[in-house]
Amino acid sequence: MLRLWYNKLNMYKMKGMTLVIYLDNAATTKPCKEAVDAVMNGLEHFGNPSSLHRLGLEAENLVDKQREIIAGAIGAQEKEIFFTSCATESSNTAIFGAYAYQGKRKHRVVTTTVEHPSVAVPINKLEQLGCEVIRLSPDENGQISPKAVLDAVNEDTFLVSMMLVNNETGAVFDVGEAFSMIKKKYPQVLTHCDCVQGFMKLPFTVKKLSADMISLSGHKVYAPKGIGALYVKSGVHIPGLLLGGGQENNFRSGTECVPLICGFGAAVAALCGKVEQNYKNAKALQNYLIEKCSETGGVTVNFASGSPYITSIAVEGLKSEVLLHFLEENGIYVSSGSACSKGKKSSVIKEFRVPEKLSDSVLRISFSNRTTNDDIDALLEAITRAQGRLARMK
């Protein structure tokens, strides 16, 4: 089997083609055909959704149709979905909105040590503004127990923000249980969940999560970049961040990006009803990856007990960045840690107790619905080649 990928690579080179084996889907996904077509349709419906004439109305109807799709996908009401430019904007809006809503009277925020920067950095800002921040670390199993989250909350808490799926390891947290325990004891506390890596990959609803606010992103689910959404539970009156013309029911001003909203809706619609089957396929791929890693000397699986779409591995003795570029030269695209850490050593990996000697050698392998066993064979074949080549160079 070895050399299958290498032969394919050489054949591509001879034909002047570029081989792309894309295993970095937690960073972003290739937009699906449905999304691309819908973006074009959205561009053609160029009216401003706020205009009172027919063209405006058509654009507004298109936006509302996509809102219905996104709301349906998470069991929300349409009026609870607000389109944003990305999940980073959604989470900033949720966190600073919660602070504006309750942060003058209450001071504590509870979160985890492994949040994405789009949550961690705004919460650091709240700390600078005088809030007390409690950050919970995963235990030896990569879990944060709902009881530990509840215990960190007190009468002075106004916000709990906890992600559903960690973007570097795929760890899945029991957010639903944690938030429901909190809501029973402290109904006033606002609960926010960054669901970016779980959306349309794991089945969840707003009710099951007991979340007041949920951040979603388009480009992780085969929609284009530049579009996200924030779910805000009906009755939660946080102020928005962007003030102006009062679009999005006076919550997020700025003319709606109709084409990208259409792309987002179409991508989500294309996944509806397929989440379970896609999950099973991803699980089978992950099992195959784990098996192949165990057959390849020097490759450790750091974490594979969460979302099957994300697997953290380490290749002993090879620096992530060096290996990443070697793989890239050979048509295989993965990530070192997360795309957002841009080569910086990840504190999140340390939080998940990856041994120090492996922490410089971590690769994140993340699947899409298009990933195949052949892609995994190619990855391990290329890693074996890299081990030989780079070890000789050393």
Catalytic machinery residues: 340
- Residue 84 interacting with ligand PLP (CB under 6 A): no
CA dist 366 and 18 (Å) reads 21
7-46 residues in contact with ligand PLP (CB under 6 A) are none
The site that binds ligand PLP (CB under 6 A) totals a number of residues, namely 13
- Part of the chain binding ligand PLP (CB under 6 A), chosen from 29-37, 86-94, 278-286, 291-299: 86-94
Q: Are strands 132-136 and 157-161 parallel, antiparallel or unpaired?
A: unpaired
For residue 196, state whether it binds ligand PLP (rule: CB under 6 A).
yes
Q: How far is the CB of 268 from ligand PLP (least distance, A)?
A: 14
Encoded amino acid at 273, one letter: G
Work out which of 25, 29, 66, 88 binds ligand PLP, going by CB under 6 A: 88
Among 66, 93, 111, 118, binds ligand PLP (CB under 6 A): 118
Longest dimension (CA), the chain: 70
How many other CB atoms are there within 10 angstroms of residue 286's CB atom? 24
The reply to whether 111 sits near ligand PLP by the rule CB under 6 A is: no
Task: Kindly give the pairing relationship between strand 299-303 and strand 310-315.
Answer: antiparallel
With b meaning 16 or more CB within 10 Å and e meaning fewer, what string describes 128-157?
eeebeebbbebeeebebbbebbbebbeeeb
Closest CB to ligand PLP among residues 9, 175: 175
Nearer to ligand PLP, 32 or 318 (CB): 32
Tokens found for residue 212: 């007041």
Q: Does 123 bind ligand PLP (CB under 6 A)?
A: no
144 lies in the site for ligand PLP, by CB under 6 A: no
| Binding flag, residue 161, ligand PLP (CB under 6 A) | no
Task: Name which position in 45, 67, 108, 116 contacts ligand PLP (CB under 6 A).
Answer: 116
Q: Which residue's CB is nearer to ligand PLP, number 48 or number 113? A: 113
Binding ligand PLP (rule: CB under 6 A), the pick from 111, 180, 197, 210 is 197
Contact between 163 and ligand PLP (CB under 6 A)?
Answer: yes
According to the binding rule CB under 6 A, does residue 93 interact with ligand PLP? no
The reply on whether position 80 binds ligand PLP by CB under 6 A is: no
Choice from 42, 146, 228, 259 touching ligand PLP (CB under 6 A) = 228
Among 23, 35, 63, 86, binds ligand PLP (CB under 6 A): 86
User: Which positions from 338 to 367 touch ligand PLP by CB under 6 A, shown as an x/- string?
Assistant: --x---------------------------
Q: In one letter, which amino acid is 203? A: P
Residue 214 in the binding site for ligand PLP (CB under 6 A): no
Binding site for ligand PLP (CB under 6 A): 86-88, 116, 118, 163, 167, 194, 196-197, 217, 228, 340
